Amino acid sequence: MKPQLWKIPPVQISGEQVDQLYEKLHQRLIEISSRYQRVRFATSLAAEDMVITDAIARENIKIEIFTLNTGRLHEASIKMHGAVQSHYKIQIRSIEPEQEQVKQFIEQVGLNAFYESEDAKKSCCDIRKVKPLQKALDGAQAWLTGQRKEQSVTRTELLFEEKDIARGIAKFNPIFDFSEQEMWAYIQTRQVPIHPLHQQGYPSIGCEPCTRAIREGEDVRAGRWWWLQKDSKECGLHVTESLQK
């Protein structure tokens, strides 16, 4: 019997509650943009990030949006980039890795060496994600992510505001306390564009070789680097120090 894949949960939250979620998110974004002039938001174009994109775009909040085009993304993610720009009439900056570094990595260990070595996985993420993120954040005073506490065992202590100790700037998680149900209610009620892979069993979306659909009932990040232990499912982008907020 074919296993049942994860599905977008049915909405069980009222429109009034969604309005309250939107207002909470809006106020958080306004607070961030009032405290810092140069704020940037890293979007993967997946559900969490689309919630934040929706609020930024609809209110024309002065936060620059960018995405990391690692060179190993699903074709659906490339198409989603264009679709989101068209939908909101905004520009989403695309940041790519240094091709010489990618070439050297492939020549030294192989294109998909991350399946066999934790060090190779870290190196690949460093070249394709961490270094491009540093480039994207050059000159920024603060940046935003779509992380939520519910997403994995490595994020249960997540707060609204953190200190990015690797880059020496502020870091914010505007929907850190949104539940999965609240997030999807927001998306469906406000008709936010949905990444096609979410409709194919992918609750979390990254690079194509490192992401798979998951079964119903699995942890929502089980499809990310699925060959690793649960406590290893971060790529190095999120090195922070929590601040009580």
pLDDT value for 243: 54
In a domain, 20, yes or no: yes
pLDDT tens for 57-111 read 999 999 999 999 999 999 999 999 999 999 999 999 999 999 999 999 999 999 9
Alpha-carbon distance of 118 to 115, in angstroms, equals: 8
Q: Give the CATH number, domain containing residue 86.
A: 3.40.50.620
Contact of 30 with 62, CB cutoff 8 Å: no
In a domain, 5, yes or no: no
In a domain, 39, yes or no: yes
Q: Which residues does residue 163 pair with via DSSP β-bridges, in sequence order? A: 170, 241
Residue 245 — very low, low, confident or very high, per pLDDT cuts 50/70/90? Answer: very low
In a domain, 153, yes or no: yes
Which residue range(s) make up the domain with 222? 15-242
pTM of the model: 0.90
- The answer to whether residue 117 scores a pLDDT higher than 60 is yes
pLDDT value for 86: 98
Alpha-carbon distance of 102 to 160, in angstroms, equals: 34
pLDDT value for 135: 97
In a domain, 89, yes or no: yes
Residue 228 — very low, low, confident or very high, per pLDDT cuts 50/70/90? Answer: confident
pLDDT tens for 133-156 read 999 999 999 999 999 998 866 667
Q: What's the structural domain count of the chain? A: 1
In a domain, 133, yes or no: yes
In a domain, 4, yes or no: no
| Residue 58 C-beta-side C-alpha neighbours within 13 Å | 14
In a domain, 149, yes or no: yes
- The answer to whether residue 162 scores a pLDDT higher than 70 is yes
Mean pLDDT for 165-171 is 95
Alpha-carbon distance of 227 to 224, in angstroms, equals: 8
Has 235 been annotated as catalytic? yes
